Amino acid sequence: MQATPYALRLIDQELGGLIHRLQMVKPLAMHETMVPAAIPRNRALSHIDRYLLQGRGKLLTNAHRFKQWLRSSQARASRGESIYRRFVFLRLQASAALTQFDLFADAVTQRSEAGTGILLRGMEYLAEDALQIQDTPYTPPPMLCYLDHGIGAAIRRARTRLPGGGENPVALIRVPRERMVGLGIASSLVHEVGHQGAALLNLVPTLQGAMQPLLHGPGMAFNPWQSWHRWVSEIVADLWSVSRVGMASTLGLINVVSLPRPFVFRANLDDPHPTPWLRVLLSAEMGRQLYPHDEWQRLRTTWQQMYPGHRHDVGQRDVMHALAEHIPLFVHWLLRQPVPAANYRTLKDLLFDPALGPHALHNRFEQWEQSPRLVDAMRPCQVFALAAYARLVRGKGSQAESHNLHRLLHRWALQA
Most confident of 19-33, 112-126, 190-204, 210-224: 190-204
Q: Measuring CA to CA, how many Å separate 4 from each of 9, 66, 78, 80, 181? A: 9, 17, 10, 7, 63
- The pLDDT of residue 141: 92
Residue 27 lies in a domain: yes
Instruction: Report the DSSP beta bridge partners of residue 346.
Output: 338
For all residues of the chain together, what is the average pLDDT? 86
Computed over its alpha carbons, how large is the radius of gyration of the chain? 26
- Window from 46-60, 335-349, 366-380 with minimum mean pLDDT: 46-60
Residue 180 has pLDDT above 70, yes or no: yes
Average pLDDT over residues 200-227: 87
Q: Does 97 share its domain with 240?
A: no
Note the pLDDT tens digit of each residue in 12-58.
888 788 787 777 777 766 666 667 777 777 778 778 778 777 888 88
The answer to whether 412 and 122 have CB atoms below 8 angstroms apart is: yes
Most confident of 24-28, 79-83, 119-123, 228-232: 228-232
Residue 156 lies in a domain: no
Indicate the residue among 112, 129, 148 that finishes a domain.
Answer: 112
DSSP category for residue 150:
S
DSSP category for residue 37:
G
- The pLDDT of residue 290: 97
Q: Does 316 share its domain with 200?
A: yes
Residue 174 lies in a domain: no
Residue 218 lies in a domain: yes
Q: Does 251 share its domain with 338?
A: yes
Indicate the residue among 66, 92, 112 that finishes a domain.
Answer: 112
- The pLDDT of residue 30: 64
Give the separation between CA 215 and CA 394, rounded to whole angstroms: 43
Domain count, the chain: 2
Note the pLDDT tens digit of each residue in 104-128.
877 778 878 767 888 889 999 999 9
Residue 128 lies in a domain: no
The answer to whether 97 and 163 have CB atoms below 8 angstroms apart is: no
Q: Does 81 share its domain with 226?
A: no
Residue 362 lies in a domain: no
Q: Does 106 share its domain with 220?
A: no
Average pLDDT over residues 231-256: 95
* Res. 182 pLDDT band, cuts 50 70 90: confident
Indicate the residue among 354, 372, 403 that finishes a domain.
Answer: 354
Q: Which domain holds residue 312?
A: 179-354
Q: Does 107 share its domain with 188?
A: no
Give the separation between CA 243 and CA 237, rounded to whole angstroms: 10
Give the separation between CA 387 and CA 100, rounded to whole angstroms: 38
Residue 58 lies in a domain: yes
Q: Does 206 share its domain with 304?
A: yes
Give the separation between CA 253 and CA 74, rounded to whole angstroms: 63
Residue 368 lies in a domain: no
397 vs 82: which has the higher pLDDT: 82
Q: Does 348 share its domain with 220?
A: yes
Q: Does 221 share its domain with 99?
A: no
- The pLDDT of residue 44: 80
3-class secondary-structure state, position 167 = strand
